[in-house]
Amino acid sequence: MGKLAMKLFRECLPVFQTLSDPHRQDIVLLLHENGAMPVNELTARLSISRPAVSHHLKLLLQGGFITCEQRGKMRYYSLSLEEPVALLRELLSVVEAECPPQSDSISPMEAKR
């Protein structure tokens, strides 16, 4: 119960960490809007350097947010949001199941216990 919530929170840690940077959010959005792209094309549309983009791509890869497909010289990065989305959905469903949507505020009496 609480154990499950704990487990899910921890499993979602990399998801939260990955999405807690605006540049990485931008990359996700760019790939979503325009489909697969190589690093240089992403760099052209962002305001950070290529090594920085490359670094964020690495984190996104490790977090399972994107996949990479090499075609000749080029490496095309494309979104694969299924896994992180599934993790978040699972966490949300557990939290919503355990926490009554009607506020949980604790009465002062109970607080004494």
27 near DNA, rule: CB under 7 A: no
Picked from a copy of itself, DNA, none, the partner binding residue 51 (CB below 5 to 8 A depending on kind) is DNA
Judged by DSSP in three states, 86 sits in helix
Comparing CB distances to a copy of itself, the nearer of 52 and 69 is 69
Site map (CB under 8 A) of a copy of itself, residues 64-83, x = contact: ---xxxxx--x-x-xxxxx-
Q: Are 60 and 24 in contact (CB under 8 A)?
A: yes
- CA–CA dist 57, 55 (Å, integer): 5
H or E element in which residue 31 lies:
helix 22-34
Q: Does 94 engage in binding with DNA (CB under 7 A)?
A: no
